[in-house]
């Protein structure tokens, strides 16, 4: 005789918990995979005056991230490759005295970034994608992403069209140095088309453009400013997007795709996952998301206090970004996360 439940007791017939019964079952049915091949490690290469004796400089607001010397940069890239990381993205940190109003040191062949790009490409060839940050802010003495001029009323403005000339020259210099991908992050109108034309004219048809398409003026960039020794006073609200806007990101993304972007990006990631989702739905090219310095710092600081489980939060935060639609993720945890995933 089969026992029947007491009348009135509800027995579920649909049981989603079946797919959660074991790790193997959960892995088998997961909807999102994190693939280290599509992680990008952002790295800082600093001009250490006494390069022979120099040590990498820690960045206090980004524990575990350093301003590299050329030697430590190569070691760290090697470690990233071994962990399976697909790309590194290099940001230059020049000596303060090498900064000027137009960011000359960012374009010069012997500038800190271009020298490092050349050395890294020579060392690693096509074993890892070498991305160059294509922006003036690390190299200007005023810290803005473009060159300044004055409007009719005497206000300082960031001159969009004059900046495009610098970006074009910078992108070509980075391609000459060996970058596989240039990455304009300055949010100037028309930057992608201008860079594409300049690269093509210089014979760099095969160098890709990863465009910061939807980049917001975000307080979450705070630690990055320390990381690059930024000279910025004021803010970037004349060129980066307003946090209140989403539709505008779809316009920015479409323009960048039309102008020739090979990859588009949303930045920051966590406070803008809704933007990422919508960009991923409309984009016809791969979509990247940048887990920025403030996102890294938040989890690091809480974990240091024992308030969060560091490794679990790293993987959960990256999973959320991938689930929202990112094909490619820039994260300062790229190497560590790749190692965690292979355990
Ligand atoms: C500017 C640039 C910034 C970041 C990347 N590129 C700072 C800014 O726009 O103010 C921020 C990255 C981060 O916070 O991790 N070229």
Q: Are 276 and 325 in contact (CB under 8 A)?
A: yes
**Residue 5 confidence (pLDDT):** 58
Taking CA atoms only, the protein residue closest to ligand 1 atom 14 is: 221
* Residue 339 annotated as catalytic: no
Atom of ligand 1 nearest to the CA of 185: 16
| Ligand 1 pocket residue status of 224, Cβ below 6 Å | yes
Phi, psi (rounded to 5 degrees) for 132: -110, 135
By the 8 A CB rule, do 270 and 291 touch? Answer: yes
Residue of 44, 185, 272 to test ligand 1 pocket, by largest number of atoms within 8 Å of CB: 185
Cβ 160 under 6 angstroms from ligand 1: no
CA-to-CA distance for 269 and 289, rounded, in angstroms? Answer: 6
| Angle at CA of residue 68, ends 66 and 71, nearest 5° | 140
pLDDT at 2: 54
Distance (Å) from CA 118 to ligand 1 centroid: 23
Each residue of 27-39: b (16+ CB within 10 Å) or e? eeeeeeebebebb
- Rounded to whole angstroms, the Cα distance separating 281 from 277 reads 6
Using most ligand atoms within 8 A of CB, pick from 93, 215, 243, 292 the residue to mutate for ligand 1.
292
Mutate to test the pocket of ligand 1, among 221, 225, 288, 290 (most ligand atoms within 8 A of CB): 221
Compute the distance from residue 305 Cα to the ligand 1 centre, in Å: 26
> What per-residue confidence (pLDDT) applies to 6?
63
Low-confidence ranges of the chain (pLDDT < 50): 1
236 in contact with ligand 1, CB cutoff 6 A: yes
pTM: 0.95
CB atoms within 10 A of CB 303: 17
**CA–CA separation, 333 and 318 (whole Å):** 9
Q: Assess whether 122 carries a catalytic annotation.
A: no
Bin 18: left if φ > 0, else alpha if -120 < ψ < 50, else beta.
Answer: alpha
How many residues are there in the chain? 343
| C-alpha 71 to ligand 1 mean position (Å) | 24
Closest C-alpha residue for ligand 1 atom 6: 185
Q: Which residue has the tokens 């991305």?
A: 131
- The finding on whether 221 has its CB within 6 A of some atom of ligand 1 is yes
- 185 CB within 6 A, ligand 1: yes
**What per-residue confidence (pLDDT) applies to 231?**
87
pLDDT score of 51: 62
Q: Count other Cβ atoms within 10 Å, centred on residue 239.
A: 19
Q: How far is the CA of 79 from the centre of ligand 1 (A)?
A: 24
């Amino acid at each position: 005789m089969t026992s029947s439940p007491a009348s009135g007791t509800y027995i579920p017939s649909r049981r989603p918990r079946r797919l959660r019964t074991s790790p193997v079952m959960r892995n088998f049915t997961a909807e999102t995979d994190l693939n280290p091949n599509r992680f990008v490690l952002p790295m800082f290469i600093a001009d250490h005056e006494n390069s022979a004796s120099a040590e990498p400089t820690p960045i206090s607001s980004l524990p575990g991230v350093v301003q590299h010397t050329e030697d430590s940069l190569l070691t760290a890239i090697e470690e990233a490759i071994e962990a399976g990381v697909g790309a590194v993205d290099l940001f230059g940190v020049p000596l303060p005295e090498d900064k000027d109003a137009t960011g000359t040191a960012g374009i010069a062949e012997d500038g800190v970034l271009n020298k490092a790009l050349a050395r890294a490409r020579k060392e690693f060839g096509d074993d890892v994608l070498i991305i160059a940050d294509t922006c003036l802010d690390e190299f200007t003495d005023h810290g803005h992403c473009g060159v300044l001029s004055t409007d009719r009323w005497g206000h300082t403005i960031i001159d969009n069209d004059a900046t495009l000339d610098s970006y074009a020259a910078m992108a070509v210099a980075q391609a000459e140095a060996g970058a596989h991908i240039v990455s304009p992050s300055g949010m100037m109108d028309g930057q992608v088309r201008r860079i594409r034309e300049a690269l093509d004219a210089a014979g760099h048809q095969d160098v890709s453009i990863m465009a910061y398409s939807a980049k917001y003026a975000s307080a979450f960039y705070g630690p990055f400013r320390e990381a690059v020794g930024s000279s910025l006073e004021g803010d970037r609200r004349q060129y980066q997007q307003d946090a209140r806007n989403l539709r505008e990101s779809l316009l920015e993304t479409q323009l960048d795709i039309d102008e020739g972007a090979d990859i588009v990006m949303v930045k920051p990631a966590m406070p803008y996952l809704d933007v990422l989702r919508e960009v991923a739905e409309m984009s016809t090219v791969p979509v990247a998301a940048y887990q920025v310095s403030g996102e890294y710092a938040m989890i690091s600081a809480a974990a240091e206090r024992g308030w969060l489980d560091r490794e679990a939060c790293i993987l959960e935060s990256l999973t959320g970004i991938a689930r929202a639609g990112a094909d490619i993720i820039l994260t300062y945890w790229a190497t560590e996360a790749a190692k965690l995933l292979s355990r």
